[in-house]
Amino acid sequence: MRELVSRAIERFLQSESSYLVESDLLPPDVMLRTAARDLQKPLDELVEDLGAWLVRQNEIWRLLRFCGSDFLDFLLRLDELPERMRLVTDDIAFPEIALTRGKDGLVWVTLESGSPRWSALLSGLLRAMADDYGALCVITRGDDGIRIDVSDLDFAEARTFRLSARTAAP
């Protein structure tokens, strides 16, 4: 599984910037750190791009769309995500996700271990998923979590998702 993660990151870096990656499958953080330095981009920004790139990979996109019928549903069930990951593999230590919903409708997402990388990855992923569901929202990443302010769930048409991968896309 680790090799697959490294390979995904390798492919992301290649697609992002035609960045030349050593193909010897270095650990993910080493690859990302080196690439961020070479591309003169803040590491967290690169990791956010990785989160958005993941959503553009068809298989991963489909798995994510299984997790919610619209963006709010997806958001409010985000705390299921680590458990879903563990259904699939024990090999990735995914931090627990906690959700709080304020009276003002704001959703706060906090990660258990407070890892800034996971937080960056998740905010990139959330931005891309909001786009995918056609929701309009403001996503702000702070030191203590991610703040999501959903202003319009049906701002644009959601990308069509069918439960069966075998049904032809429109």
Q: Given the rule CB under 8 A, which residues bind another protein?
A: 1, 3-4, 7, 59-60, 62-63, 66-67, 69, 84, 87-89, 162-167
For the CB of residue 150, give the shortest distance to another protein in the complex, in Å: 20
CB of 6 to another protein, least distance (A): 10
What's the min distance (Å) between Cβ of 53 and another protein? 15
Nearer to another protein, 1 or 30 (CB): 1
In the bound state with another protein, the residue whose beta carbon lies nearer, of 103 and 166, is 166
Q: Is 47 exposed, middle or buried (0-12, 13-18, 19+ CB in 10 A)?
A: buried
When the beta carbons of 37 and 86 are compared against another protein, the nearer one is 86
Q: Closest Cα partner for 91 from 29, 3, 31?
A: 3
